[in-house]
A and B are shown apart, each in its own frame.
Chain A
Amino acid sequence: MTEVALPAPTRQPVAPASGRWLPVLVVVICILLLWYAGAVGLNAPQVTERLNNLGSPWGWQDLVSAAWAMERPVLPAPHQVALDFYSSLVDNDIDSPRNLLFHAGVTLSATLLGFGLGLLLGVLLAVGVVHSRVLDRGLLPWIIASQTIPILAIAPMAVVVLGSLGYPPLVSKAVISMYLCFFPIVIGMVKGLRSPEVLQMDLMRTYSASRPQLLWLLRLPAAVPFLFASAKVAIATSLVGAIVGELPTGAQAGLGARLLQGSYFGQTVQIWSALVMASLLGVALVGLVSLAERATARLMGTQP
């Protein structure tokens, strides 16, 4: 018998690359199959009507190929959406209103401004709530109540009021986005600012630390992991807020405007490619927050 060279033992068994990607691939294929089947099913009534009007006999292949190639389908096929998405990026200049990246950029600026404002507002409110019993009792119920009002009811009012005050649409969209995204930040930060252990708090007391020192040296660093968990939720909702903010403004630019135009003119393919762009933007934004989280954890010496 010859000795068999064993691979060096690793501390954690690492799944082979295929093991990590296979499940994702299977899910994607399943979704695509269901989507194509759904496109046939949902578009069939229109397609059969049209084929019957042509008068010539037709088979199921004709039905399927027509269902996947309609100009204004009920549900466009994935490749139609992909083609529309791709051509909007490639066939148009970056500043053309036919380019989805142009719309994404407009929505992104409102999202980031709204997220920044929401982050600031959320952290300030949380610091207030943790330090004052009055705010804890008096403010938190209002913060929670604010989130029970449908954003579609608030958005037109914000647009009208801020517009009459002379603010550009960017600001009214950012305010709507802030209104949605400050909430998870407040909830996460209140929990985070209260997360230090009793011993760690007692220790600060033995040093006769002032309240600002307690906040800065103990409460805020302890809240950082909570802040990032909240920020991931918040940045996704702030994107939703910015898109919703574009609906009642009759805006000409932005993913929300693109969605609205698509539904006015029955351009379902255009709606779907705008949706794809919105979801890619959302994934990218959450990914950016995750990257920032990892960089911060490294700076703070967190156990990997």
Chain B
Amino acid sequence: MSSAAPAVVVRDLSLIFQTADSPVTALSDVNLTIERGEFVSFIGPSGCGKTTLMRVIADLERATSGSISVNGMSPEAARLQRAYGYVFQAAALYPWRNVLKNVMLPLEIMGLPAAERDSRARQQLELVGLNGFEGKYPWQLSGGMQQRVSIARALALQPQMLLMDEPFGALDEITRDHLNEQLLRLWEATGKTVIFVTHSISEAVFLSQRIVVMSPRPGRILEVIDNPLPAGRLLDARESTGFAEVAHRVRLALRAGHSYD
């Protein structure tokens, strides 16, 4: 039944963008299964299709060929059921809404009663450590805080799955470390499926159980690397030899993808 179906099943999926001069193969013969509750990262250089693959899962792009199911249904059905929360590269907060109202936005669209909207939004803000900032407007917050608001906004839907597209890419390293650790604790506490797109090897190794290494022209999966590091890891885990080994494997795989261009 659909409740037992994997979070994402992708079979022989290709996506070709028709551009003005020539068609661009963004994804070529992608096969991937992501189980429920997994934390999976997509890593690769620009143009490898990692964001495109995530957008296909989110039904923001349509595949040209192949099949994909999300929670056992089509991506469109999953989107209509609000099965996932999407966190973009930029926080994309609405500047005319304060922090609380930004987090309440998806709940308003769902049509929840005002009291429940309010309590749910406050709950999510507490989860990302932003209680006390409800009345602030986006321009009054730092970049890291804005991105935490956007995570709270994605969580407010109470989705089974979080899709995160380089959410910390624009932040400084100190903020990024801090948010990485917070995200890991959040994942451990909630057991949600997290799909995470990143450029950073150490971010991918620190966060995920599996790392999908991708390569450009055409965008495809080179290798899926299992991460044997134990759960409950802290930032210090990055100094361990185990961490260095996994990071090394990811680096080798990325290099293999680059060898012929």
Enumerate chain A interface residues (CB-CB to B < 8 A). Answer: 197, 199-200, 202-209, 213, 217-218, 221, 224, 300-303
Enumerate chain B interface residues (CB-CB to A < 8 A). Answer: 58-60, 79-80, 82, 84-86, 88-90, 92, 94-98, 105-106, 108-110, 137, 139, 157
Contacts of B79 in A (CB 8 A): 205-206, 208
Query: Which residue in A197, A213, A303 is a CB contact (below 8 Å) of B109?
Result: A213
Number of A-B contacts (CB under 8 A): 56
Which residue on chain B has the smallest CB distance to residue A299?
B96
Are A203 and B137 closer than 8 Å at their CB atoms?
no
Bound CA–CA A217/B110 (angstroms): 13
Bound CA–CA A205/B163 (angstroms): 14
Are B88 and A199 closer than 8 Å at their CB atoms?
yes
Given A206-B86, A208-B80, A209-B109, also A218-B60 (CB < 8 A): no
Contacts of A221 in B (CB 8 A): 94, 96
Are A207 and B95 closer than 8 Å at their CB atoms?
no
Are B108 and A217 closer than 8 Å at their CB atoms?
yes
Bound CA–CA A207/B84 (angstroms): 9
Contacts of A302 in B (CB 8 A): 95-96
What are 29 A-B contacts with C-beta separation under 8 Å? A199-B89, A200-B92, A202-B60, A202-B86, A202-B92, A204-B109, A205-B59, A205-B79, A206-B58, A206-B86, A207-B82, A207-B109, A207-B157, A208-B82, A208-B109, A209-B109, A217-B105, A217-B108, A218-B94, A221-B94, A300-B95, A300-B96, A301-B95, A301-B98, A301-B137, A302-B95, A302-B96, A303-B95, A303-B139
Are B95 and A199 closer than 8 Å at their CB atoms?
no
Are A203 and B92 closer than 8 Å at their CB atoms?
yes
Bound CA–CA A207/B79 (angstroms): 7
Contacts of A200 in B (CB 8 A): 92, 94
Are A301 and B109 closer than 8 Å at their CB atoms?
no
Which residue on chain A has the smallest CB distance to residue B150?
A203
Are B86 and A197 closer than 8 Å at their CB atoms?
no
Are A199 and B58 closer than 8 Å at their CB atoms?
no
- 5 closest cross-chain pairs (CB), A and B: A301-B137, A300-B96, A199-B92, A303-B139, A206-B86
Contacts of B89 in A (CB 8 A): 199
Which residue on chain A has the smallest CB distance to residue B98?
A301
Bound CA–CA A200/B102 (angstroms): 12
A231 CB to nearest B CB, Å:
18
Which residue on chain B has the smallest CB distance to residue A224?
B96
Q: Identify the interface centre among B80, B82, B106: most chain A CB within 10 Å of its CB.
A: B106
A223 CB to nearest B CB, Å:
11
Which residue on chain B has the smallest CB distance to residue A196?
B94
